[in-house]
Amino acid sequence: MSDKKAKTSRKKVEPCGTCDKAVTNTDCGILCEMCETWFHISCQKVSEELYNILKHEPDRVHWFCNSCNKRVVQLVKSVAKLEARQEKLEAAVNTVKENVKKMGDELGKELLGIKQEIQRVEKSMEVIQEGFDNMVRSKINEFKESLTQGQNGTVDKDDILETMEIERRRLNLVIMGVMEEEKDQEVVDEILTKLIGHKVLKSIISVERLGRKTDKIRPVRLVLNNMHEKYELLRKAKNLSKIDEFKKVYIMPDLTRKQQVQDKRLRDIVKDLRDKGESQVRIKKGKVIKVVEGREEIVFSPI
């Protein structure tokens, strides 16, 4: 197979994916980065101007053939819409929980009924989460099965891969500081039980060490089956510092490389501001904010 980065050069004669005639070294040929098929630029109606750009900037400009492009664009749009819908649903569920809590404060005699309502809402959230997961998987499968349809164009392949990687890690958590000689599953179960106050084994899909074994303690990746347990664990993770045997254990989201770089940048900015005497600064929703007279002001936003 030819080098992906050299989208306009090839080591051997390849058949054109459109006309099936050979794409020789004397032809203006171009490689689709999705299906990895060669084409004559005339068969794909690619202008010489675009061809020259692809030829001289192979790492910065990405190209997909007619059969792949439309589905790639549709997939990105669909995932974005699904994520927006999920955020609205989660906000609605949180609103219901808050309303139920207020009702409990006002109607103490009906506490039992309120607890049952909370359980119903949490179960509904799990059903919503499962439906969302199925929709995302369905869209990805549709994309894989329909790479033979679409129209010509260019799109940033790295953004697509980053979106897919974030989605793949969405239900993951990383636990730092768990000693290598201990049984990971048992320790993780103990940590989660002490944090949430009840057994969460039914919510765990897998527990695994990351990386090769060295003299350093490797992180533990935890994969859960629902977002509710993940948010609950992250919310209470700071309480580990109050438990003697887990004072050096930390729980955090499973970030991509790109997200880790961004997160470190934000933490460095907060540290620098605090060193300068700004004590009321913190990270919130990917931004650095400062609390001034009870109001939140954005100090830094990466966008």
Query: Do 190 and 134 belong together in one domain?
Result: no
Instruction: Give the pLDDT confidence score for residue 16 in this predicted structure.
Output: 92
The structure's pTM equals 0.46
Segment 253-281 shows an average pLDDT of 89
Query: Would you state the pLDDT for residue 143?
Result: 56
Of the CA atoms within 13 Å of residue 284, those in its CB half-sphere come to: 10
Do 118 and 81 lie in one domain? The reply is: yes
Cβ proximity of 168 and 133 under 8 Å: no
- The answer to whether residues 225 and 295 belong to one domain is no
Residue 106 pLDDT > 60 = yes
Place 38 in a pLDDT band, splitting at 50, 70 and 90. very high
**What's the confidence (pLDDT) of residue 150?**
44
Same domain for 98 and 157, yes or no, is yes
Distance, CA of 145 to CA of 54 (rounded, Å): 27
The string of pLDDT tens digits covering residues 213-259 is 888 889 999 898 888 888 888 888 888 888 888 888 989 899 988 88
pLDDT for 2 equals 37
Tokens 């793949």 identify what position?
168
Question: What's the confidence (pLDDT) of residue 151?
Answer: 47
**Residue 303 pLDDT:** 66
**How sure is the predictor about 3, in pLDDT bands with cuts at 50, 70 and 90?**
very low
Same domain, 193 and 115: no
Residues 61-100 have pLDDT tens digits of: 888 888 888 877 787 788 888 888 888 888 888 888 888 7
Domain limit, last residue, from 116, 132, 167: 167
Which of 218, 238, 254 is the endpoint of a domain? 254
Q: What is the rounded CA–CA span in Å between residue 144 and residue 21?
A: 26
What is the Cα gyration radius of the chain? 25
Residue type, 74: Q
> Residue 243 sits in a domain of what CATH number?
3.30.70.330
Work out the widest C-alpha separation in the chain, in whole angstroms.
85
Whether 248 and 267 share a structural domain: no
pLDDT class of 142 with cuts at 50, 70, 90: low
- Strand residues in 190-239 grouped as ranges (E): 204-209, 220-224
Out of 5-14, 52-61, 256-265, 268-277, which region has the weakest mean confidence (pLDDT)?
Answer: 5-14
Q: Provide the residue type at 214 as one letter.
A: T
pLDDT tier, 149 (very low <50, low <70, confident <90, very high otherwise)? very low
Residue 238: the pLDDT is 87
Assess whether 154 and 207 both reside in one domain.
no
Shared domain check, 152 and 75: yes
Domain encompassing residue 136: 66-167
pLDDT at 62 (0 to 100):
83
Is 100 within 8 Å of 116 (Cβ atoms)? no
Pick from 75, 255, 262: which is nearest to 166 by CA? 255
Q: What is the pLDDT averaged over residues 132-146?
A: 60
Highest averaged pLDDT of the listed ranges 5-19, 30-44, 86-100: 30-44
Return the ∠ at Cα 180 (arms to 177 and 184), rounded to 5°. 85
Is residue 29 classed as helix, strand or coil in its secondary structure? strand
**Residue 19 pLDDT:** 92
Task: Write the CATH number for 45.
Answer: 3.30.40.10
At residue 119, the pLDDT reads 72
**Nearest CA-CA partner of 44 in 4, 1, 7, 6:** 7
Domain count, the chain: 4
Which run of H or E residues covers position 162?
helix 157-168
What pLDDT does 173 receive? 92
Tokens of 252: 């955090």
In this structure, what are the phi and psi dihedrals at residue 197, rounded to the nearest 5 degrees? 95, 5
Q: What is the mean pLDDT of the chain?
A: 80
Domain stops at, among 44, 63, 82: 63
SS3 content of the chain, % helix, strand, coil (to 5): 50, 15, 35
pLDDT tens per residue across span 176-224? 988 887 788 888 888 888 887 766 567 788 888 988 888 888 999 989 8
Residue 293, pLDDT above cutoff 50: yes
Residues 6+ apart with CB under 8 A from 230: 171, 173, 224
Confidence of residue 285 (pLDDT cuts 50, 70, 90): confident
Q: Which segment of 23-37, 186-200, 257-271, 280-294 scores lowest on mean pLDDT? A: 186-200
Burial class (CB in 10 A: 0-12, 13-18, 19+), 102: exposed
